[in-house]
Structure 1
Amino acid sequence: MRVLQTLSCAALGLMLIVGGIGAARADRPKTGGSYSETASSRTGTGGGTTVAADPKLTTPPQCVTPTQDAAGEGRRAFMRMNCYSCHGMGGHGGAMGPSLVGEADETAEAVTQGEGEGMPSFKNNLCPNDLANLTAYLRLLGTGSEPTFVNWWEAHPSR
């Protein structure tokens, strides 16, 4: 155990010596200059120009062919649209959003219209079956039969 601690400390020390803390990066001016000047040298502008957003980030996701498993597709939509970041991984409430257990019937309006100042509208991010699938998934929350994991980034992970 003591040997492992010594090796860990030695490795950390070596990283600090070789890399340095806050060492000058190759892409930063070494003497003087500002962030704007550095950005201008890369873009060829005088600053104040915003790079265009990646179109893949502003368009709805590619919708997949519906399957027989509406609840599984609903869980996939729940993950894809980042619902879990506010409502928790299982929809039982999170840091910002309330529990969705027993709230399946109120989902469609909240998702498409938003809720006051707390929840934004997701209508531009929805695939045609997302609302029905989300409702099917939310109906199962708290019953013990809800899907707990799906590879939301794959169209049909089990096939």
Structure 2
Amino acid sequence: MFDTMTFTKTLGALCGSLLIFLLAGWAAESLYSIGGGHGEHAEQAYVIDTGEAEGAGEEVAEVAFADVLAAADPEKGAKVFGKCKACHKLEDGANSTGPFLYGVVGREVESAAGFGYSGKLKAAADVWTPENLNHFLENPKGFAPGTAMSFAGLKKIEDRADVIAYLDSLDN
């Protein structure tokens, strides 16, 4: 079926196609670059103003967490806690994938009875104060590197304050 001449023609066609492809790439590079050099680029002739340069100098005012916590809404915190329900229970002593969170505000770190902790939290804090909970809920892996908690965190400070207020309201 295949003889030497057919094989030679096929190989020649492939090599010719490759040569044309390489020459077309070289021509396009020469046409669209300055002076035909590699890696040289001209400045943009027209720059679209998006307004980013104006806002670059403005800084976002940092709000004290105590102020946000004072204005926190436990009812909103109950809704945000829905993200935590998969791993945590609110009943006293009812551990799940994570430890129970009843009375967690003001409780010693790694003190939920019957839960096997990784030991990384105790190195980060001694007591679950609202400030420690705020930092932990913002970025668990950043607060306690090596912790087994795989939750990404709550990015909004208001959400964190609402959840902490909700958890604090559970045990009166």
The structure in which a higher percent of residues are helix is: 2
Answer with 1 or 2: which has the greater Rg.
Answer: 2
TM-score by length of 2: 0.35
TM-score by length of 1: 0.38
